[in-house]
């Protein structure tokens, strides 16, 4: 028996409805903020992610599904959404004539990594990307959209963490301080942290190893190294969050795993998910457009893993069934039932039929199993009388009416 590849899963009926409700909530909430949907290809040039995400990141170095096509071009399944969206915005010149461009995406991403709670090798993300002014108030609005979406899902017990990781003016100063600190505790760090120290020292603060967390507890705070423009920007973000009425905690250790982030970073965590507790997060990336060959185009956004979100969404009420189950006993009633079912569907009703040729009792059992609101019964007696019997499957009440009054 052939099974699904490791790290993938089927979304079956019953589960699919939960995904649909989440997606509907996303579209409704983001529509109120003026976002439009964008859909990018599931694979891109490998160079896009090497440049955009960062050659030294775990994603590019270890986790991408990369292959050569028939013309020996290197392609990769997308491991994240931002680089692809920026590429599409630049290629389509969507920024021309736009004050602020707000986009969202929904779809699968691919990373070959150790599977985590709520994370598969093919996983799905909802993400937003906003291009326009490098405004701290815009950062806060983007965060507010994330919190509004989580609220629409009924998720409770989440916490918003915010930080600033500076920019090209002040981050090099902090890197020097942090690197010196890491050197002083190097014998207490895991091999991965020692590797990260050489490529991106800030990532050491993101290690989930308890021993590394304890060892770096006294690490210098990046907030103490911010230049004046970055400090003003972060203070303005916090003021705007307070205007929105959003509770938050400043977390100086909060860094993002991708190289393109600068200034504002944020993450929403949930206490019921264990070590892998992030529901979503993001930040500002003002230099990514230029890195990919475009003009200066400030950007800010976030992404949330759908599988992980569904772990925290309250269980839904029993899914609604169909409107009508048509129960036909006999060949002639079956043909009449086909015509009636078609008419009902044309009127907007959802209708199912059981084509197994089973008994009346078996068909009624099937009607209850699919949670139909009513059964439309056609037998030889009804056919000869030009009538149908309609039974309310909740109350058990039934009545016979003329076919033309159905």
CATH code where residue 380 lies: 3.40.50.800
Strand partners, 326: 353, 376
Q: Are residues 30 and 60 in the same domain?
A: yes
Please give the Cα distance from 252 to 185 (Å, whole number): 19
pLDDT score for 242: 96
Q: Is the pLDDT of residue 213 over 90?
A: no
pLDDT confidence of residue 187:
82
As a whole number of angstroms, the distance between CA 59 and CA 82 comes to 13
Mean pLDDT of 226-230: 93
The pLDDT of 1-29, averaged and rounded, is: 90
What pLDDT score was predicted for residue 274?
Answer: 56
Instruction: Identify whether residues 308 and 362 lie together within a single domain.
Output: no
Task: Say if residue 21 is in the same domain as residue 163.
Answer: yes
pLDDT grade, residue 317 (50/70/90)? low
- Give the mean pLDDT of 300-326: 84
Does 88 lie in the same domain as 33? yes
Share of the chain above pLDDT 70, in %: 94
With a cut of 90, say whether residue 61 has pLDDT above it.
no
Same-domain pairing of 94 and 52: yes
Per-residue model confidence (pLDDT) at position 257: 59
pLDDT(316) > 70:
no
pLDDT greater than 90 at residue 235: yes
Does residue 179 sit within a domain? no
Residues 303 and 158 in one domain: yes
Convert the pLDDT of each residue in 145-178 to its tens digit: 999 999 999 888 889 999 999 988 888 888 888 8
What's the chain's average pLDDT? Answer: 87
For residues 190 and 375, give the distance between their C-alpha atoms in angstroms, rounded to a whole number. 65
Q: Flag whether 209 is in a domain.
A: no
Q: Could you tell me if residue 203 is inside a domain? A: no
pLDDT at 71: 94
Judged against a pLDDT cut of 90, whether residue 203 lies above it is answered with no
pLDDT band at 276 (very low <50, low <70, confident <90, very high): low
Residue 256 has pLDDT above 80, yes or no: no
pLDDT tier for residue 57 given thresholds of 50, 70 and 90? low
Q: What is the pLDDT of residue 236?
A: 96
> Which of 260, 290, 312 marks a domain boundary?
312
Mean pLDDT value across residues 214-224: 86
pLDDT(199) > 80? no
pLDDT at 208: 77
Handedness of CA 331, 336, 340, 342 (dihedral sign): positive
Residue 10 located in a structural domain: no
Cα gap 166→255, rounded to integer Å: 11
The CA-atom distances, in angstroms, between 242 and each of 32, 133, 143, 170, 263 are: 20, 21, 12, 26, 19
Q: Are 334 and 297 members of one domain?
A: no
- Domain count along the chain: 2
Domain-embedded: residue 214: no
Task: Name the domain boundary from 312, 339, 363.
Answer: 312
Q: Does 164 lie in the same domain as 129?
A: yes
CATH number of the domain within which 58 lies = 3.30.930.10
- Residue 58 pLDDT: 65
Domain that holds residue 390: 324-405
- Are 142 and 262 found together in one domain? yes
Give 105-114 pLDDT, tens digit per residue: 999 999 987 7
pLDDT tens digits, 318-365: 666 788 888 888 888 888 888 888 888 998 889 988 887 778 888 888
Final residue of a structural domain among 312, 336, 366: 312
| 202 within some domain | no
Q: Is residue 194 part of a domain?
A: no
On whether both 162 and 22 belong to a single domain, the answer is yes
307 shares its domain with 329: no
251 shares a domain with 342: no
Handedness of CA 242, 247, 252, 253 (dihedral sign): negative
Residue 310 reports pLDDT greater than 70: yes
- Model confidence at 370, pLDDT cuts 50, 70, 90, reads confident
What is the predicted pLDDT for the residue at 122? 92
Percentage of the chain exceeding pLDDT 90: 39
Identify whether 189 is part of a domain. no
Query: Residue 285: which residues within 8 A CB-CB, separation 6 or more?
Result: 82, 260, 261, 262, 299, 300, 301
């Amino acid at each position: 028996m052939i099974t699904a590849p490791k790290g993938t899963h089927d979304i079956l009926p019953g589960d699919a409805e939960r995904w649909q409700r989440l997606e509907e909530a996303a579209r409704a909430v983001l529509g109120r903020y003026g976002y439009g949907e964008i859909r990018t290809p599931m694979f891109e040039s490998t160079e896009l992610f090497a440049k955009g995400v960062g050659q030294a990141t775990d994603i590019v170095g270890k986790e991408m599904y990369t292959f050569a096509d028939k013309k020996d071009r290197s392609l990769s399944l997308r491991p994240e959404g931002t680089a692809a969206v920026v590429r599409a915005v630049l290629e389509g010149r969507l920024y021309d004539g736009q004050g602020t461009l707000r986009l969202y995406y929904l779809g699968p991403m691919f990373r070959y990594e150790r599977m985590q709670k709520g994370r598969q090798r093919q996983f799905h993300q909802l993400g937003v990307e906003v291009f326009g002014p490098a405004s701290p108030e815009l950062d806060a609005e983007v965060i507010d959209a994330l919190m509004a979406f989580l609220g629409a899902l009924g998720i409770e017990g989440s916490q918003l963490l915010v930080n600033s990781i500076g920019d090209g003016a002040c981050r090099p100063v902090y890197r020097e301080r942090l690197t010196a600190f890491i050197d002083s505790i190097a014998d207490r760090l895991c091999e991965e942290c020692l590797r990260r120290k050489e490529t991106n020292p800030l990532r050491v603060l993101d290690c989930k190893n308890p021993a590394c967390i304890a060892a770096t507890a006294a690490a210098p705070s990046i907030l103490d190294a911010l230049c004046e423009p970055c400090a003003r920007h972060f203070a303005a973000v916090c003021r705007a969050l307070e205007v929105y009425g959003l509770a938050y905690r400043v977390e100086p250790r909060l860094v993002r795993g991708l190289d393109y982030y600068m200034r504002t970073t944020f993450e929403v965590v949930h206490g019921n998910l264990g070590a892998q507790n992030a529901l979503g997060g993001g930040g500002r990336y003002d230099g990514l457009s230029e890195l990919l060959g475009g003009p200066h185009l400030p950007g800010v956004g976030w992404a949330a893993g759908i599988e992980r979100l569904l772990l925290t969404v309250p269980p839904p009420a029993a899914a609604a069934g169909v409107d009508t189950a048509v129960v036909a006993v006999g060949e002639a009633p079956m043909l009449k039932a086909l015509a009636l079912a078609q008419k009902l569907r044309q009127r907007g009703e959802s209708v199912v039929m059981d084509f197994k040729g089973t008994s009346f009792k078996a068909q009624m059992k099937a009607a209850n199993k699919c949670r139909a609101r009513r059964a439309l019964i056609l037998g030889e007696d009804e056919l000869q009388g030009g009538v149908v019997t309609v039974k309310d499957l909740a109350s058990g009440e039934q009545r016979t009416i003329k076919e033309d009054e159905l």
